[in-house]
Amino acid sequence: MSNFSIPGSQSTPAIDGNWDHGILSMQGDSYPENSYELFQQVFSWVERFLLEAGRPLTLELRLLYLNTSSIKAMMDILDLLEEAHHDGKPVAVNWRYDPRNERVAELAEEFKEDCTFPFAIVALDSAASAS
């Protein structure tokens, strides 16, 4: 169907949806002025993918900081994945983080607690986290 891409900025993550590969990736900080506006495109893409694609969807995250409204948006995205999982659709999350930033790992663990689908929290090696 369609890919989409939102370039990252100082306050927003780079977001890429790859329809053919079933991957939605987000990388960077997330403290936008209007998180609803930013994440509405993501919600729409995820909903459409889960409805139409008929194949696995993986959320690849390398998020460093999320403000309160971004945390709420991420919870909504994970709720969509949880609902899809209960409907028998294959979904997964891979949250990669720099091991020097324990707060990110703790945040990922908090999100993981509410998910019954595969949710990996992966420490990057120092060479990968420097890039």
71-129, pLDDT tens digit by residue?
A: 999 999 999 999 999 999 999 999 999 999 899 999 999 999 999 999 999 998 855 54
Distance of CA 3 to the CA centre of its chain: 15
Give residue 129's pLDDT. Answer: 47
Give residue 1's pLDDT. Answer: 60
How many CB atoms are located within 10 Å of the residue 100 CB?
Answer: 10
Query: Measured between alpha carbons, how far is 119 from 130 in angstroms, rounded to an integer?
Result: 24
State the average pLDDT over residues 21-46: 95
The set of residues, in sequence order, having a beta carbon less than 8 Å from that of 28 and lying 6+ positions away, is: 8, 12, 13, 14, 62, 63, 64
